A and B are shown apart, each in its own frame.
Chain A
Amino acid sequence: MTKQLTPELYWIENCYKTNDHHVHISSYLIRANSKYILVDTGSHLHREEVELAIEDLTNGSGVDALLLTHSDLPHAANVQEFRSNWDFDLYASFTGSSASPEALDMGDATSASVGNSTKIFGRKFAFLWPALADVTNTMWILDKETNTLFTGDGFGNYHFPNQCNLTSREIQGSIEEELIRQYHRDALPWIKHITGEKLKDRLDQMFADYDINRIAPTHGNLIEKQDINEYRDKLIQSVDEISNHYKRNILEVE
């Protein structure tokens, strides 16, 4: 299902169903003048749905550029298939590595230098160090036109079946802390070792450095600007609950 977020930004959302909840596996499409830029490709499980959505949103012209937050399968599984459909420029932070786009049969790629910015079809993107990520060679992507931050695995949440295409503002009571906590516990298992305070410092620095209008995770509901602080607070609370539970109950540290 697709949802228009701004005049040029679209959310292509698909869901993976677990026993208890759903989790998003999302891509985002940006119209840059007459060109189309895709952020992440979605999972191979949703390949057909994503392709159809792109065909529909681009009136058949397809993707002109693809930005990958990282090479993990739910984000990059469809690169080769999309290459057979459309001729696009690939931007990735994992060029030059032993798991480069070329080595992964994704074709040529332009290095997205984390910590720097670039223009794609005249539209400025900044590539940020991810505060939360599962894979080392991950970047967060900031579209400077809409100030939308694409956060890959960070800022995610599980959701209920009736919340699939809702933004944070549209969810009654906003995104529940428990759903944020369960998602991060499962997706980022190292969280048990960290403190919420240090993560909060990193996030607050990022929010001070950049004017962010919305956060667009791959695995969560879109977070509107008015809800970012509340989500951040719930995330930090979640981190502390996960880590305190591990510390007290598993490691038995007083």
Chain B
Amino acid sequence: MELVMVQVREVEEGIYWIQECSVKDQITDELSKDPPEWYLPGKKIHIPNNAFLFTGEENLLFDTLSPAASEEILPALESILDGDDLDYVVPSHPEPVHAANTFKILRRYPTASLVAPVGNPDEIVAPTYGKGHDLYYLDDSKTVFTGETIDLGGLTIEFKEATFPDVAFSIWIYEHTFDMLFTVDWLGIPHSEGECTKCVDEITTEVTQDRFHEFHARALYWFEYADTETTSAAIDRLINEIDPSMVVSAHGLVFRENPAKYMRMMKPVINRISVEGRLGLFNAETSIES
């Protein structure tokens, strides 16, 4: 089984970043042979899985880390909550690396509500939030529409449309007090050992288009079919409507300085993927040739 390391950092008052890191040997080997400018020689490459705990009068967990961190997630939560209850568990989408520990956490915190998105009948684009909640054990969840908020007493979580969704039931969140957008699979980047739980402004390496490409050409492979006029317009719309002070992905580091710059940087990244095609998977030995 893959070895993981879980670290916790309070990134803003009451917002705890729980990061699971595992070494990606294959990507490390590939990059070491033709190192990009952001690669630190001799350092292993990580692709993190992030969860976020929002604390206040009530406490909400967004994402639950992967099954590889199933032994680490509860001690991490318990250390932060320090005897307080967990009130909400919100998987961004029911994919194992995001949601695998949901029910383990709910058993530990039995009064917590499981939260899942449901299609908004007013949405012009038909409900993209999935059908079949019971297929994913979400039938007893508290359902939320996009635009709904949960006031935790201090922090306020708003459920947002996933502009770049992964699967059905994908949801993003926005925290009002600190103007922070959580973009799940979008804006993920690999980092080197030593950069774990660092914000982008704290690391010595640059976040470049190439670095974004390394992640998105594998994780959001469908960018190879992208209508780049659409994706660019979607990014502009996101910046115009929210323009957050901070942005963080479930698979990256926190952007807390000029996040719009990095959001715009994704336009040529998507364009490159739409021209060059996808890369291989993060794990194991795979050939891109079909």
Contact = CB atoms under 8 A, between A and B. Distances in A.
Interface of A: 16, 18, 23, 25, 43-45, 71-74, 93-100, 102-105, 111, 113-116, 128-129, 133-137, 182, 185-190, 192-195, 198-199, 202, 206, 209, 243, 245-247, 249-251, 253
B128 to A, nearest CB: 4
25 contacts: A18-B132, A23-B132, A44-B137, A73-B94, A98-B68, A98-B69, A102-B1, A104-B100, A115-B286, A129-B290, A133-B221, A137-B283, A186-B130, A188-B167, A188-B168, A189-B165, A189-B167, A193-B231, A193-B234, A194-B225, A198-B225, A198-B274, A249-B125, A251-B230, A251-B233
Given A96-B284, A113-B287, A136 B227 contact: no
Nearest to B270: A193
Interface residues of B, number: 65
A194 B233 CA distance: 13
A136 B225 contact: no
Nearest to B132: A16
B283 A113 contact: no
A103 B66 contact: yes
Contacts, number: 181
> How would you classify the secondary structure of chain B's contact residues: helix, strand, loop or mixed?
loop
A202 B234 contact: no
Contact of A187 (B67, B95, B168, B229): B168
Contacts of A185: 126, 128
Interface in B214-256: 218-227, 229-231, 233-234, 237
Interface in B258-282: 274, 278, 280-282
B286 A136 contact: no
Nearest to B129: A189
B281 A136 contact: yes
A114 B2 contact: no
B103 interface: no
B230 A193 contact: yes
Contacts of A95: 283-284
Given A99-B67, A193-B227, A186 B128 contact: yes
A189 B67 contact: no
